[in-house]
Structure 1
């Protein structure tokens, strides 16, 4: 069934949310405490049942890190630590949310899922007007997607219980700022 919505599952990759991933000590405890894993699986299941497209946004760089900005406080250590390398386990979507045939794969090289990616053409081609958003981190990719999505005239809905920050304060602060630009819902309550 065609839909004007897409569920964007953002940066839920092994390097960030798998217990054995490079960011496991940062995001895994918050994801566990907030039940992000089960909530995200529920959101995906509900979106699929409603015929809503699922898009997976993944941060990643070529094996030689040619797209990685060396001066970035966010990405400058990726090369040194061997993380976010496309074609490797770390940039694969966490298995609990495994993509299926027909799901969109959007690779990004910056915080925003729009900057230099296939996301905008995909949304236009599919007639998408509503973005349902989740992922890590709340103050990173989620915040960037909400703000830019808003400025591109999309209706944005943030699934609060499917997001986490590096700390609870980071998540709460980001969420407080995003309420101006997006509706806030949960995996169980969002209307697809």
Structure 2
């Protein structure tokens, strides 16, 4: 078989597989243990979990079922401030919200039953008691982030249909495409979707920081204590979102952000 004719060098396309990387920017801020935690802003993203209408708005699924929202609403200003500071530093802000299929075709029977509390209340994709569409259905009111929390044009929104924000969706691909290795966690509920997403992230190789002052839950305080203990012991670090916000604003006790050379 004759050899193929050589391709003229002038017609060979140039392919670049170089991925731009943000400069390393190290910040250090207060950890829950009394020490400090250090992160590289160039490879960090904030995940804001489940701060959405069906959990927090008076017309939403949880409030209509009599579930208290005061603790969750109390973390909104702190999340908003940190998100703004991280945007200013060029770090991605990602809202991870429940957003199920209208036909719940990919939800198991056990999860559907838990959502309905054994048939005592409406659940996933059922009609909202307040007439706000279908509960937690992607693209509808209940799955949207609450108005009190700013979502900037450059922010990303990822929908989930399990307690973990990584199950069967695009979150992992989005983070890897942005060269993110460290995740900051804020939102609700500390012991449910926040912790499930954090542990799943840890299993996938991400470094995890639970911002204890920017998370809340309706569970008893002892449950939160357990989550903080396990996170610090096994899955990452527990730290202060307010402390990080202060450092990024140049008002914190820790060193200001320090630009470094691109990746070591």
How high is the TM-score relative to the length of structure 1? 0.89
Q: 1:115 to 1:154 in 2, by over 3 A?
A: same
Gaps of 5+ in 2: 1-20, 23-41, 117-122, 128-133, 249-264
Q: 1:147 to 1:26 in 2, by over 3 A?
A: same
Q: 1:23 to 1:5 in 2, by over 3 A?
A: same
The structure 2 residue matched to 1:136, chosen from 169, 173, 188, is 188
Q: 1:185 to 1:179 in 2, by over 3 A?
A: same
- Specify the alignment match of 1:28 in structure 2: 69
- Specify the alignment match of 1:162 in structure 2: 214
Question: 2:114, 2:47 → 1: CA distance?
Answer: 21
Kindly indicate whether the alpha-carbon contact (under 8 Å) linking 1:30 and 1:168 is maintained by their aligned counterparts in 2: no
Question: 2:232, 2:138 → 1: CA distance?
Answer: 33
The structure 2 residue matched to 1:56, chosen from 80, 85, 95, is 95
Q: Is 1:188 aligned with 2:188?
A: no
Task: Map 1:172-187; keep pairs closer than 5 Å.
Answer: 172-180=225-233, 181-187=235-241
Moved over 4 A (4+): none
SS of residue in 1 equivalent to 2:95: strand
Q: Is 1:114 aligned with 2:166?
A: yes
SS of residue in 2 equivalent to 1:162: strand
Q: 1:136 to 1:74 in 2, by over 3 A?
A: farther
SS of residue in 2 equivalent to 1:158: strand
- Specify the alignment match of 1:78 in structure 2: 124
Kindly indicate whether the alpha-carbon contact (under 8 Å) linking 2:101 and 2:138 is maintained by their aligned counterparts in 1: yes
Question: 1:30, 1:95 → 2: CA distance?
Answer: 17
Gaps of 5+ in 1: none
Q: Give 1:80 shift.
A: 4.0
Question: 2:138, 2:95 → 1: CA distance?
Answer: 14
Larger radius of gyration: 2
- Specify the alignment match of 2:139 in structure 1: 87
Q: Give 1:66 shift.
A: 2.2
- Specify the alignment match of 2:258 in structure 1: none
Q: Give 1:150 shift.
A: 1.4
Q: Give 1:11 shift.
A: 0.8
How high is the TM-score relative to the length of structure 2? 0.66
The structure 2 residue matched to 1:47, chosen from 86, 92, 98, is 86
Per-residue CA distance 1:52-110 (angstroms, 9 max, x = gap): 10111011112222233222154453244541112211110111223222211111111
Q: How many residues align?
A: 190
Question: 1:182, 1:36 → 2: CA distance?
Answer: 21
Worse-matched range after superposition: 115-124 or 76-85: 76-85
Question: 2:89, 2:115 → 1: CA distance?
Answer: 36
Question: 2:173, 2:151 → 1: CA distance?
Answer: 20
Q: Give 1:12 shift.
A: 0.7
